[in-house]
Amino acid sequence: MDQKILVNELRKIIGKLGSEKGPFSLVMMLYDQPDVFDSRITLFVSALWLNKLSPKTAITLIIKELRNTMGVDQFSKFSKVLVVNTEDTVVKILNQSFGVSGGSTADITNCNFNGLQIDKAIILESNRISVPKIKKKSHN
């Protein structure tokens, strides 16, 4: 499976959902068995708009987009989809370490981030997205 094709297909999904719903904080392809040539992949995604959905709804939405955009060969590469809250420590650590967007990628090989071991991954989006602060009403 050509990794470039898979990345390009994911970029289409990131662009479509990003324009419809809002930006992603993190999109990462995490290889399940990094030493295996045709390893399956866990798709790791995080976005403020996904925080507002139930886990089942969020995962179903991402899987639907994968199915609708990708061919069977590309879709079958994914073993699972993990939707992670933007406030999760893993998301914050990766977003502090990487700034990836606009068509670039970051390859990770055999790295440990504060106890999180990543043997092989590709980051397609990594953006610090600030949560809007709620203004307190003044009682005048």
Q: Sign of the C-alpha dihedral, residues 47, 101, 64, 59? A: negative
Read off the pLDDT of each residue in 2-23 and give the average, rounded to a whole number.
90
16 lies in some domain: yes
Band the pLDDT of 110: cuts 50, 70, 90. Answer: very high
As for how many domains the chain has, the answer is 1
Range in 21-25, 102-106, 124-128 with the lowest mean pLDDT: 102-106
Written as one letter, the residue type at 28 is M
**What one-character DSSP code corresponds to residue 78?**
E
What are the residues facing 123 on neighbouring strands? Answer: 28, 106
122 lies in some domain: yes
Written as one letter, the residue type at 61 is L
75 lies in some domain: yes
Domain extent for 119: 3-126
137 lies in some domain: no
117 lies in some domain: yes
- pLDDT given at position 56: 95
25 lies in some domain: yes
Contact 50, 129 (CB under 8 A): no
Question: Dihedrals φ, ψ of 133, to 5°?
Answer: -85, 140
134 lies in some domain: no
138 lies in some domain: no
Record the tokens describing residue 58, joined without a space: 């969020």
Read off the pLDDT of each residue in 89-108 and give the average, rounded to a whole number.
84
Residues 6+ apart with CB under 8 A from 87: 51, 131
Q: Average pLDDT over the chain, rounded to whole?
A: 87
**In the Cβ-directed half-sphere of 36, how many Cα atoms lie within 13 Å?**
9
Residue 135 has pLDDT above 60, yes or no: no
Band the pLDDT of 93: cuts 50, 70, 90. Answer: confident
